[in-house]
Amino acid sequence: MLTVNFLKLRNFASKTPCLFYSTKTKRRNKEFPLITCKNSKLNLYLSDFKGGNQNEQDIILASKGWQHYKAKGDYFIIHQTRDASDILKEAQDYSSLGLNEKLVKNLEEKHDITKATKLQMDSIKEISHNSHVLLCAETGCGKTHAYLVPLIEKVLKLKQKEQLQEDERRFNSPLVIILTPARELAEQIGKVASDLVEGLNINVKSVVGGSTKSKILNPTFEDIDILVGSIGVLSKLTTTGVYRIDQVSSVVLDESDTLLDDSFNEKISYYLRKFPFHTTTQLILASATMPTSVENVFRSIIDTSTLKHVVGDDLHKILPYVTQEFHRMNKTGRPEKLLRIVKTEVEKKRPVIVFSNKTPTCDYISLFLNNNGINCVNVNGDMINKIREGRFDKFQNGEVNVLSTTDCLGRGINTIRAKHVINFDFPKYIADYIHRCGRIGRLGGLNNNCIVTNFISSLAELDLVRKIELAARTNFELKNVDANIGKIIRERIERDAQKYENAYLKSLKANG
d(CA 395, CA 398) in angstroms, rounded, equals 5
CA 202 to chain CA centroid, Å, is 28
CA 42 to chain CA centroid, Å, is 31
Task: Decide the pairing of beta strands 226-230 and 176-180.
Answer: parallel
Cβ 229 vs Cβ 208: under 8 Å:
yes
Phi, psi of 138 (to 5 degrees): -55, 155
| Beta-carbon contacts of residue 286 (< 8 Å; ≥ 6 apart) | 135, 136, 143, 144, 146, 147, 252, 253, 254, 255, 256
Which runs of consecutive H residues, i.e. helices, occur in 348-429?
359-371, 385-388, 391-396
Residue closest to 307 by CA, chosen among 319, 290, 330: 290
d(CA 247, CA 95) in angstroms, rounded, equals 30
Global pTM?
A: 0.80
d(CA 413, CA 401) in angstroms, rounded, equals 16
d(CA 249, CA 150) in angstroms, rounded, equals 13
d(CA 342, CA 373) in angstroms, rounded, equals 11
CA 467 to chain CA centroid, Å, is 19
d(CA 264, CA 185) in angstroms, rounded, equals 16
Q: In what order do the strands lie in the sheet with 44-45?
A: 44-45, 33-37, 75-78, 323-328, 451-456, 420-423, 352-355, 402-405, 376-379
- Rounded average pLDDT per 10-residue block, the chain, 512 residues: 36 33 38 90 84 72 92 95 70 93 95 91 95 90 93 94 69 94 89 96 89 85 94 90 94 88 75 89 90 73 88 85 95 97 96 96 97 95 79 91 92 84 95 89 70 96 94 84 52 56 66 66
Question: Considering just the CA atoms, what is the radius of gyration of the chain in Å?
Answer: 24
Question: SS3 string of 258-307?
Answer: HHCCHHHHHHHHHHHCCCCCCCCCEEEEEECCCCCCHHHHHCCCCCHHHC
CA 409 to chain CA centroid, Å, is 10
**pLDDT score at 385:** 74
Cβ 99 vs Cβ 501: under 8 Å:
no
Q: CA separation (Å) from 333 to 72, 77, 126, 330, 376?
A: 10, 19, 51, 5, 20
The secondary structure of residue 62, as a DSSP letter, is G
Exposure b/e, 265-297, CB count within 10 A at least 16 = b = beebbebbeebebeeebbbbbbbbbbbbbbebb
